[in-house]
Structure 1
Amino acid sequence: MTPEAKLDTERTKISEFGQRMLKDGLTLGTGGNISVRNGNHVAISPSGVPYDEIEPEDVPVVDLEGDHIAGESKPSSEFRMHTDVIRERPDVGGVVHTHSPYASTFASMGEPIPASHYLIAFIGDEVPVAPYETYGTAELATAALETLGEEYNACLLENHGVLAVGETVDEAYEVAMMVEYCAQIHYQAISVGEPEILSNEAVTELIEIFEHYGEHTDSQDEATEVPVGDALQAERAAVSELGRQMLEDGLTKGTGGNVSSRNGEEVAINPSGVPYEEITPETVPLVDLQGEQVAGKLPASSESPMHTAIYRAREDVGGVVHTHSPYASTFASLQEPIEASHYLIAFAGDQVPVTAYETPATEALGELAVEALGDEYGACLLGNHGVITIGESVEEAYEIALMTEYCARIHYQARSVGEPKILADTEIKTLTERFADYGQQS
């Protein structure tokens, strides 16, 4: 192998992300493939090798025309689709092809995934569909490239699967995750109702916001001069721990959602755009009750305005959890409340109310959340977005987030096969009073 064709880092990425595709349920067996570009060379998954058996040294390398130039293993049969996209899209450094089940359902129907959830903007105004062509052919490569055009970061392959692209393979993989998440939300929403579809103007605004997702601002750069030190140690530890727990419990995907814990006039909140598994208590930034970052090297979550708006309005609140949990987010995309079809709804109130859609990371979204929560609710849905839960402590807020998703799932499944029974207001009042002392010793 020539020195320029080694691509050690890129071949390692193929091995790692292949195993992650299996773990995250984006493919089965040896389906799908991944590629990473370095200059005029591309590392790509080997053909027909189980992902859990692929070592970096097994990963072949091709040039931009698809010619096999290094590695003993045969390149993926879909090498043409990868190299055509990478060659014609200079902004693309990584390509991920999955057979994820919800997105592949729409691919098999030949229907695009519309903007029923705001995260569609990671892809474009929708996830379009490339017409069917036989796998591994130049015709499929051409269909995919034409469907992506210059504006889309993903497309469905009719009767096949998903193609996602990004400046890096990490970004392409995140896009693939967002495609599957949006597909699941849309599938579930149309199964029980009629989801609200975001306007072109709203999606255009979101696309512009996501172009700068996780970037520092001048004010945040100034905050790096103020060390966190020993401040809010318990709160920062809780934010770090519960962020990981959100992933483990299926309450979010990727870097979506956020957690905060209040102590007096300061709030510990997870940093923006950082994978939860990489967040330690020491890296958790602090903001004041106006949302201004006061300490920490990493920028605070973009949803700080919503968290701090709730803290200012509700002195009883010591913790806020924002999730993208799939069943609750289905009702958020329907812009319907979760009704009291299960008694555990009383952890949140007589229902889980829902707001209209508002641009994420804005004061306006915070105002809608405050209005929906009022003085009586422990949770609300954010239209076409997700869930906000609150509690006297962040641990209590997290428990309500779990209860909200559980009740959403029960209500969704009941709606899928019949007409759920809704508990009377008097019974909800009884339950709410009981839950107020839940677990307390008399």
Structure 2
Amino acid sequence: MGRHGLAHAYGHVSARLNAESFLVSPAQPLGTVGLDEPGVQVPLDGDLPPGALPEVRIHREIYRRRPSVGGICRVQSPAVMALSALGETPRALHGLGTYFAPAPPLWPGVALVRDDAQAVAVAEMMGDAAAIVLSGNGAVIAGETLEEAASLAFFLEDAAKIELALLPARAAGRTPREYTADEVAKRAVRAGALFERMWQFLCFGDPEWQA
């Protein structure tokens, strides 16, 4: 996430361990986490343990509500943030955007989500969507695995770049072509090692990949 410009100093990722807990990255920039540094194990019930960032509450509420979610990425990718400043989130305008069709919900608050009530509200607005965009503050992306969530984080940023690239055309009166529901169903596939190949692309060159 850090090396591909999807998360800066404040990004964090997590993976479900079991029905009672998940593992989240330590409270430091993702690109600085070493191979031998343990994450923070967070229970789904009870208080956050020492070392867990306050925003980890968002992860916890998503895991509580969605048993199929196995990985979550909290990112601050620039195109997603720029588009949110326009009050928009990426639509299904190209293949990678179909995984969020018709578009991710946009959380309107600008304050950091650091208490239980706000985290509950974010998770409820997200519902079963693959991502929720936080106004001016990046996004939260969920997948069946951490590999899938990381891939979707890349997809979301790519979809936002398409939206921004089309702004001049929109200003000139052109209307971008959105995928239909039928086209979305046919394109948003998981077969063909689609997420596995994106995970390989994202991780290639990382110390973990070489270990």
When normalised by structure 2's length, the TM-score is 0.79
Q: Choose between structure 1 and 2 for higher RCO, CA contacts under 8 A separated by at least 6 residues.
A: 2
In the TM superposition, residue 346 of structure 1 has moved relative to its aligned partner by: 1.9
Distance 1:404 1:303 in 2: 20
> Which of 167, 184, 193 is residue 439 of structure 1 equivalent to?
193
Q: Find the counterpart in structure 2 of residue 68 from structure 1.
A: none
Aligned: 1:429 with 2:185: yes
Q: Please say which structure displays the higher CA radius of gyration.
A: 1
Sort the Cα spacing of 1:370 and 1:438 in 2 relative to 1 into closer, same or farther, 3 A. farther
> Which of 121, 124, 144 is residue 371 of structure 1 equivalent to?
124
Sort the Cα spacing of 1:349 and 1:300 in 2 relative to 1 into closer, same or farther, 3 A. same
> Which of 233, 246, 259 is residue 13 of structure 2 equivalent to?
259
Distance 1:258 1:304 in 2: 8
- Measured on the aligned residues, the alpha-carbon RMSD in Å equals 2.1
In the TM superposition, residue 363 of structure 1 has moved relative to its aligned partner by: 2.3
Distance 2:46 2:59 in 1: 8
Sort the Cα spacing of 1:365 and 1:437 in 2 relative to 1 into closer, same or farther, 3 A. farther
Sort the Cα spacing of 1:290 and 1:400 in 2 relative to 1 into closer, same or farther, 3 A. same
In the TM superposition, residue 404 of structure 1 has moved relative to its aligned partner by: 0.2
Distance 1:429 1:277 in 2: 35
> Which of 163, 186, 196 is residue 411 of structure 1 equivalent to?
163
| Higher mean C-alpha displacement, 299-308 vs 343-352 | 343-352
CA deviation digits over 1:189-240, x for unaligned, max 9?
A: xxxxxxxxxxxxxxxxxxxxxxxxxxxxxxxxxxxxxxxxxxxxxxxxxxxx
Aligned: 1:286 with 2:38: no
- What SS class does the counterpart of residue 420 from structure 1 fall into? coil
In the TM superposition, residue 345 of structure 1 has moved relative to its aligned partner by: 1.3
In the TM superposition, residue 352 of structure 1 has moved relative to its aligned partner by: 2.2
In the TM superposition, residue 438 of structure 1 has moved relative to its aligned partner by: 4.5
In the TM superposition, residue 320 of structure 1 has moved relative to its aligned partner by: 0.5
- Give 1 or 2: higher helix fraction: 1
Distance 2:21 2:132 in 1: 24
> Which of 84, 90, 99 is residue 347 of structure 1 equivalent to?
99
Paired AA for residue 176 in structure 2 = P
Aligned: 1:380 with 2:125: no
Distance 1:248 1:355 in 2: 26
In the TM superposition, residue 365 of structure 1 has moved relative to its aligned partner by: 3.4
Distance 1:291 1:387 in 2: 25
Does the aligned pair in 2 maintain the 1:334–1:384 contact within 8 Å?
Answer: no
Q: Find the counterpart in structure 2 of residue 247 from structure 1.
A: 2
Structure 1: unaligned runs, 5 residues or longer: 1-245
Paired AA for residue 251 in structure 1 = L
Distance 1:302 1:271 in 2: 12
Sort the Cα spacing of 1:356 and 1:438 in 2 relative to 1 into closer, same or farther, 3 A. farther
Q: Find the counterpart in structure 2 of residue 134 from structure 1.
A: none
Distance 1:362 1:417 in 2: 41
Runs of 4+ in structure 1 displaced over 4 angstroms? Answer: none
Matches within 5 A, 1:24-173: none
- What SS class does the counterpart of residue 282 from structure 1 fall into? coil
